[in-house]
């Protein structure tokens, strides 16, 4: 397949303006003749739905939650980046662009990233106008903090609940449009299939999670704002219900899936405690502003701590190894996430990890408390410290926190062009669901920025161009054969899952898959391990379709049926992640192949052979997927070995 | 730990429900309350019994999905925490724990422990926003907001919409939820233009949904996982009264 990115010509800083001018418009009176379907109500979905409804389009919004406000964006803690340069510390649109490209280890599209940096400033304006209570200085102006991978202070925040406040802002804008009758809201509805006919997207098929009813919805365009696929690992910081199903089923209809192996392991999460564990909790990266990461200098000391013979506070300064500050003096504890995670893994692999499992490092606030006082630290991170104490039953003001990396975000996703359109005309992917802006590693406080950029400031321009091209009559009624066939596919799948009547609960398959992917396609990967894992996933898939046990019926609330469909898709995606990781014979960002590292153990890219986006094309049940390449062209940044030393 | 449970099972909104006893063994004190339910559901599934339905998602106390009424308290014995943040170490070996859904007319039971909280969405739709279209905002620093005002707004804005306030109230009143939004937007300059209309509309919708009246016992604030203060109810009452006395709508 020929991938056309539609990246505009011209100087980098003018590309978006020029492109906007070149896009076709739908006149205000005609907008009401177009129906747009939005799947998902996180930052990308809620902001897109609200903005498109404000423009006059008819919008139908779907969420599997009971309320749009519960989408997983709500859980983002730390903040949102914007190149406002309010701090007078040398920030600019170009610097945010540069940091993001470099942070992504030069595996993202220049033009997309620059646009993201450009619109970042408008996002903050919009959110403040909605009443988002960002942190402020005493003079009443907005406050900022720093985040990993940047040497300026450009992150806006609302205590440790920035995602919540931004989502509630977008949710309020969405609610206003529901009240105005421009948005029709479908809660507890899960998209289970996409309808494509005559080479265009025609709509979706959903299952009502309360009644089990399979329903068709027709639209001129469909926007997938369905988040990432981190739950393929079972244990992740994602919410329990986050899944890849909508994106994966679109993939099976011809939407290419790009860079699935780019997953982000977040360095500061609460360590795993037992095999009953259902999810992992993130401690915001902002903590690394004041917390110092360390482990004992020797294995002996670490062992004593693990056995409980020594407390971390017993260790003298010279018995501690502040390994990030030691290895990366200029960025110190604020190195990007992939670097911080990998280093935590190294010191634990050396036998210097703490906690009973040996899989944890310290994040210590003692110096910050001594320097700024407990009150200041409380004001900055109070709710995070409380959350930690509730889970771990330990007071982080007195003993250092214990943290370990955990899966947090997925940079890969559906391939989209500059207009955010996938390879199926009329199907768009926004936010974490697409692949476009973060390359092989996302910087902190950039996910919120991207979700809102796509929804508030990109899609309102680009979707009109497509709609104006196809015309208002180019829509399929829901009783057309294409819809009926899709409904049948969904019904058959439900029946198939219910009829297996095997012995193992869905959850056990999900946990088993998660362990395989974590062990072999997690923080570090090898060709040998990946080859082994591929076989294991294939066996798991075969076993799933023979032995899974889904109880209850299809025509009522059935959470195990919902999970079964999602896990089936995760298993297939898991195999593709492995293929992608095997194909990429280099290390970059979150993708670390042990065979490809520098002498100092840093990721070693191969720009000559791998400066491309790997976009995978579905080729049928149990067929190997076809690799398509989009070469990345860098006109404005020089590709260098990332250095945070 | 060994835990005895009495869990509310109800097939759907039309069928009457009842408390069903279960026993779970080998529970670690470090497990969360919902992980204990995962273990129970796994065992039920192995036995061929249908698992217990409950709402949950983020499991870190922010999405507001989880909603269990545990031993007569919304979200259980811990203060300032949701059900998913409650850990088994709050209970003793051999305890019997009664788990029910939220009980309120405006929150009908859907199945087992899952209730319908869409009334909250409709209350927000009636006025819980600032009317500002995308793209029309002034520069974010154009209007300074004193830090204490911004903090006050944030205190109210952190409501997670779980409904514990309603469940805890003997009248099933939604005053804490509604006032948190009214107060959040009323104290900010951005929300000022619509403050009268907002208070009027949101209170009217709240009544329409069948929530009870507020008798100011304060149970809502005590049980609120975000410890939202009763001050916001006082502010909403003032906003509402002010709006009614000076309204343009006659």
Q: What is the DSSP string of A418-445?
A: TTSB-SSTTEEE-GGGB-SSSTTSPPTT
- What pLDDT does residue A29 have? 95
Read off the pLDDT of residues A219-273 as tens digits, 9 standing for 90 and up.
Answer: 999 999 999 999 999 999 999 999 999 999 999 999 999 999 999 999 999 999 8
- pLDDT for residue B250: 58
Contacts of B28 in chain A (CB under 8 A): 273-274, 276
Q: Which residue of B has its CA nearest to A460?
A: B134
Q: Do A131 and B130 touch (CB under 8 A)?
A: yes
Q: Give the β-pairing of A263-269 and A183-186.
A: unpaired
Q: Does B10 lie at the interface with A, CB-CB under 8 angstroms? A: no
Which residues from B are below 8 Å from A281, CB to CB?
59-60
Q: Is the minimum CB–CB distance between B9 and chain A shorter than 8 Å?
A: no
Contacts of A175 in chain B (CB under 8 A): 121, 124-125, 128-129
Q: In what order do the strands lie in the sheet with A427-429?
A: A183-186, A58-62, A35-39, A221-224, A427-429
Which of A337, A525, A584, A593 is labelled catalytic? A337
Instruction: Calculate helix-pair angle for A93-103, A110-130, nearest 10 degrees.
Output: 120
ipTM > 0.95? yes
Which residues 54-83 on chain B approach chain A with CB closer than 8 angstroms? 55-65, 78, 80-81
Q: Which of A122, A176, A457 is nearest residue B129 as measured by Cβ atoms?
A: A176
Select the residue of A131, A173, A551 nearest B190 (Cβ to Cβ).
A131
Q: Flag if A86 and B145 touch (Cβ within 8 Å).
A: no
Catalytic residue list contains A337: yes
Residue B249 predicted with pLDDT over 70? no
Which of chain B's residues have a Cβ under 8 Å away from the Cβ of A239?
Answer: 57-59, 63
Choose the closest CB to A66 out of B118, B131, B143.
Answer: B118
Please name which of B68, B42, B46, B70 lies closest in space to residue B56, comparing C-alpha atoms.
B68
How many C-beta neighbours within 10 Å does residue A6 have? Answer: 14
| Distance of alpha carbon A184 from alpha carbon B63, whole angstroms | 22
**Range B139-149 average pLDDT:** 97
Which segments of chain A have a pLDDT < 50? none
Question: Which residues 166-225 on chain B approach chain A with CB closer than 8 angstroms?
Answer: 184-185, 188, 190-191
Of A50, A75, A142, the CB nearest to B63: A75
Provide the token pair at A98. 């540069």
- pTM for the model stands at 0.97
Q: Which residues of A touch B178 (CB under 8 A)?
A: none
Cα distance between residue A176 and residue B127, in whole Å: 7
Over residues B167-182, the mean pLDDT reads 98
For residue A387, the model assigns a pLDDT of 85
Could you write out the DSSP letters of every residue in A129-155?
HHT----B-TTSSBP-B--TT-SS--E
Among candidates A127, A239, A274 on the partner chain, residue whose Cβ is nearest the Cβ of B58 = A239
B69-106 confidence digits (pLDDT tens): 999 999 999 999 999 999 999 999 999 999 999 999 99
pLDDT at B247 over 80: no
> Distance between CA atoms of B28 and A275, rounded to whole angstroms?
11
Helix A559-583 crosses helix A506-521 at what angle (to 10 degrees)? 20
Q: Which positions 18-57 of B are in contact with A (Cβ < 8 Å)?
A: 28, 30-32, 34-35, 38-39, 42, 45-46, 48-51, 53, 55-57
Q: Are the beta carbons of B134 and A51 separated by less than 8 Å?
A: yes
Q: Name chain B contacts of A142, Cβ cutoff 8 Å.
A: 140-141
Residue B190 Cα, gap to closest chain A Cα (Å) = 6
Judge contact between A237 and A278, C-beta under 8 A. Answer: no
Pick from A278, A280, A375 the residue to mutate for testing the B interface (most B CBs within 10 Å): A278
């Amino acid at each position: 397949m020929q991938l056309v990115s539609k990246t505009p010509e011209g100087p980098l800083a003018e590309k978006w303006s020029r492109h906007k001018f070149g896009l076709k418009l739908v006149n205000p009176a005609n907008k009401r003749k177009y129906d747009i379907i939005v799947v998902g109500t996180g930052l990308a979905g809620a902001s897109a739905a609200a903005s498109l409804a404000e423009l006059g389009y008819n919008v139908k919004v779907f969420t599997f939650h009971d309320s749009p406000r519960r989408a997983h964006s709500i859980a983002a803690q730390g903040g949102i980046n914007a190149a406002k340069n309010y701090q007078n510390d040398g920030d600019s649109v170009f610097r945010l662009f540069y940091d993001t490209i470099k942070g992504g280890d030069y595996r993202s599209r220049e033009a997309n990233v620059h646009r993201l940096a450009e619109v970042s400033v408008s996002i903050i304006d919009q959110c403040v106008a909605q009443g988002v209570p960002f942190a402020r200085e005493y003079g009443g102006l907005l406050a900022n903090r720093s985040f990993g991978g940047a040497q300026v202070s450009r992150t806006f925040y609302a205590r440790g609940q920035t995602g919540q406040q931004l989502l509630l802002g977008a949710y309020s804008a969405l609610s206003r449009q529901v009240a105005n009758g421009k948005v029709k809201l479908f809660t507890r509805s899960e998209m289970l299939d996409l309808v494509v006919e005559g080479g265009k997207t025609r709509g979706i098929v959903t299952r009502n999670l309360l009644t089990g009813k399979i329903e068709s919805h027709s639209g001129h365009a469909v926007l997938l704002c369905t988040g990432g696929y981190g739950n393929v690992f079972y244990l992740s910081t994602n919410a329990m219900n986050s899944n890849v199903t909508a994106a994966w089923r679109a993939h099976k209809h011809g939407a290419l899936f790009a860079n699935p192996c780019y997953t982000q392991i977040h360095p500061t999460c609460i360590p795993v405690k037992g095999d009953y564990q259902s999810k992992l909790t993130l401690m915001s990266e902002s903590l690394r502003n004041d917390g110092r990461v360390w482990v004992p200098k020797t294995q002996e000391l670490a062992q004593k701590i693990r056995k409980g013979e020594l407390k971390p506070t017993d260790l003298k300064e010279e018995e501690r190894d502040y390994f990030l500050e030691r290895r990366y003096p200029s960025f110190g504890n604020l190195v990007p996430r992939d670097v911080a995670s990998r280093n935590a893994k190294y010191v634990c692999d050396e036998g210097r990890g703490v906690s009973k499992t040996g899989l944890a490092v310290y994040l210590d606030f003692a110096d910050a408390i001594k320097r700024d006082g407990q009150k200041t630290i409380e004001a900055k991170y109070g709710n995070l410290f409380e959350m930690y104490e509730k889970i771990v039953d330990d007071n982080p003001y007195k003993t250092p926190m214990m943290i370990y990396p955990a899966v947090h975000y997925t940079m890969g996703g559906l391939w989209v062009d500059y207009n955010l359109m996938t390879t199926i005309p009329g199907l768009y992917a926004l936010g974490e669901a697409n692949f476009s802006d973060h390359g092989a590693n996302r910087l902190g406080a950039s996910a919120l920025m991207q979700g809102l950029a796509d929804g508030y400031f990109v899609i309102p321009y680009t979707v009109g161009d497509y709609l104006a091209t196809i015309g208002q009559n180019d829509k399929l009624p829901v009783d057309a054969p294409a819809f009926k066939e899709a409904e049948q596919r969904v019904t058959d799948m439900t029946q198939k899952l219910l009829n297996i009547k095997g012995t193992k609960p869905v959850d056990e398959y999900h946990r088993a898959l998660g362990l395989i992917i974590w062990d072999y396609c997690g923080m570090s990967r090898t060709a040998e391990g990946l080859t082994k894992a591929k076989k294991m996933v294939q066996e798991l898939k075969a076993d799933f379709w023979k032995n899974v046990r889904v109880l209850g019926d299809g025509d009522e609330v059935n959470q195990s049926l919902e999970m079964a469909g999602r896990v089936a898709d995760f298993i297939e995606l898991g195999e593709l992640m492995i293929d992608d990781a095997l194909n990429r014979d280099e290390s970059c960002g979150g993708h670390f192949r042990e065979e490809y590292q520098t002498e100092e153990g840093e990721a070693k890219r191969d720009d000559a052979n791998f400066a491309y986006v790997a976009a995978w094309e579905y080729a049928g049940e149990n067929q190997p997927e076809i690799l398509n390449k989009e070469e990345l062209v860098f006109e404005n940044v020089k590709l260098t070995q990332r250095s945070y030393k | 730990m060994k835990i005895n449970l009495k869990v509310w099972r109800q097939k759907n909104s039309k069928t009457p429900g009842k408390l069903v006893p279960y026993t779970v063994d080998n529970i670690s004190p470090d497990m969360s309350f919902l992980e204990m339910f995962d273990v129970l559901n796994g065992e039920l599934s192995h036995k061929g019994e249908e698992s217990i339905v409950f709402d949950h998602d983020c499991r870190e106390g922010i999405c507001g999905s989880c909603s269990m009424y545990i031993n007569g308290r919304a979200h259980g014995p811990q203060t300032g925490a949701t059900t998913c943040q409650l850990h088994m170490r709050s209970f003793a070996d051999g305890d019997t724990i009664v788990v029910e859904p939220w009980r309120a007319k405006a929150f009908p039971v859907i199945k087992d422990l899952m209730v319908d909280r869409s009334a909250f969405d409709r209350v927000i739709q009636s006025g819980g926003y600032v009317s500002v279209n995308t793209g029309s905002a002034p520069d974010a620093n154009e209007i300074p907001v004193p830090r204490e005002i911004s903090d006050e707004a944030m205190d109210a804005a952190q409501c997670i919409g779980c409904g514990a306030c309603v469940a805890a109230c003997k009248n099933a009143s939604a005053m804490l939820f509604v006032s948190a939004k009214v107060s959040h937007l009323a104290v900010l300059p951005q929300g000022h233009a619509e403050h009268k209309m907002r208070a009027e509309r949101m209170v009217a919708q709240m009544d329409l949904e069948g929530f009870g009246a507020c008798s100011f016992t304060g149970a809502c604030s005590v049980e609120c996982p975000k410890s939202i203060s009763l001050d916001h109810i006082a502010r909403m009452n003032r906003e509402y009264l002010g709006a009614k006395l000076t309204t343009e709508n006659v």
